[in-house]
Structure 1
Amino acid sequence: MKKILLLASFMYASICFAQEVLSTYTMNYFPGEKFEIQVDNSDQKNPKIYFGTAPAETIVKKIDILIPLNEVDKFKSDLLKCKEVYLNWKKTAIENKVSELDKNIDVKFNKFDVAFLFGSKWNLSFSRALTPRFKIVNGKYIFILSNETEISSSSNRYMTTKGLYIVLNDDQEFDNIINILDVDKINSLFNSKKKTDELFK
């Protein structure tokens, strides 16, 4: 089992350099920062999206949610549901002058593998649950998607991180991500890369 985990971590460290940048997005909650959304190289058998997020700790340089391509539409659908709840609850909070709230949103995301860069080493953690929340902080209405429990490396249980955050505070931020995660656009990127590779065989 340990050998399998070590192999999985090694494979991730190897392929992370062979990804294509699909796009970047920003979050107003983290001013001045850009987060990459990447896809596997076109020759991968089970391609994934590498969804860059905000690390919960500064010691972690990068942290990605690994979304299999065949689960991207479900992830988008869950985000759309969260957006609808976010807008409804924001409206209700404004109308009723609610100034403090921290409440989970009843949308169940799939579990995903998570990769995090600790120092110079990538670490992989399998099947992590994500929880969506609506929160009012200092008069701002925010949506948070974060891990439920501490994330530990599958190959070294002492290598841990508090986790990741996606923090959105308006409908445009939801839409930006949803528009990026277009499976047709992703497939076009794959096909374009394949055609280029075939030219130089």
Structure 2
Amino acid sequence: MLRAIRIIKRANGLILIGALTASYLHQAHYLATLGAGMFAWIVPAVFDLAMLSMLTITQTTGMAVDAKRAAMKILVVVVTISAAVNFAAPGPLGLRAIFALVVGLVAGVEWVAAKIRPDFAAIEEREVSVITEVRPGRKLDPEVARARAAKAAETRRAKQAAREAEDAARAQAARVRAARAAERARVRAAKDELDQFFDQERAVVGAHRAT
């Protein structure tokens, strides 16, 4: 079960990266065609990072209730705007709807990922039944079986907590890498914009000198 949970979380992470990448590039391309310049690459990144931040707040155990409520309100606004931009882009209606739904997929995947956890009570109950019936002729005392199952469950909880901490650290590192990548994209876009401007200026100056 724990192995299945780890596989599912990794798959959710890949889905999240793919959905965010598709949404980001689609929005950036659309805004670029509207003449937004380098801001076409900055604004979608800001919205995607805000979405991830709000989702993290709403799904973090122990977070203040008012913080979760505020984050949920902001999340609704961010998802709505991002989906609207994706839907407003030119193209067939079906394609526009798919890109709009991708934004909802990001929120849904993060919400489900935060809910994934083992049911230790069910695992313990199953272990008790298995241990007591493993040898029909020599049944283990139910109390001993429960004690062993409880000890095994405690060990699993400790391992699961360690894995969750490791997964959280990896997720944080992934968010940092995504933010850095967005910043690099913004810098490249700004540099390209400046290079284009200076090229045009040089062309104008050259034409003026030629005359």
Higher RCO (CA < 8 A, seq sep 6+): 2
TM over 0.5: no
Q: Return the structure number with greater helix share.
A: 2
**TM-score in terms of structure 2 length:** 0.27
**TM-score in terms of structure 1 length:** 0.28
